[in-house]
Amino acid sequence: RVLNELKHNEKASTSYEHSQEIESLKHTISEYLKEKESFERKIAILKDDLQKEESRNIDRELALEKEVNELNNIVFKRNQSAQTVHMLTKPQVFYNHATRQALG
């Protein structure tokens, strides 16, 4: 009978140790899951921030391309105007330097 009680106490002690270990493992798993969820939230936020930044960069790039095109048009028009001026006939002389008289 004493032997049975001793075996029963050992089983109870072992069972208690196992239940304590199980509770400890459950707590550890719970902490890991919370940490995982936190990382997933951070990843989602970072992905969202990255997409917003990429969108802003695309908008900036499009605006810069538009500005470059506008500036190229201005330069082209100015060059065209300069070319046109050189193509014009020379103005009529309204003053004769030889006779020192105005013509017209």
Predicted pLDDT at 84? 66
DSSP code string of 1-37: -HHHHHHHHHHHHHHHHHHHHHHHHHHHHHHHHHHHH
Q: Which residues contact 103 (CB under 8 A, 6 or more apart)?
A: 93, 94, 95, 96
The pLDDT tens digits for 85-96 are: 566 566 555 666
The pLDDT tens digits for 33-81 are: 999 999 999 999 999 999 999 999 999 999 999 999 999 888 877 777 7
What's the pTM? 0.52
- Residue 32 pLDDT > 90, yes or no? yes
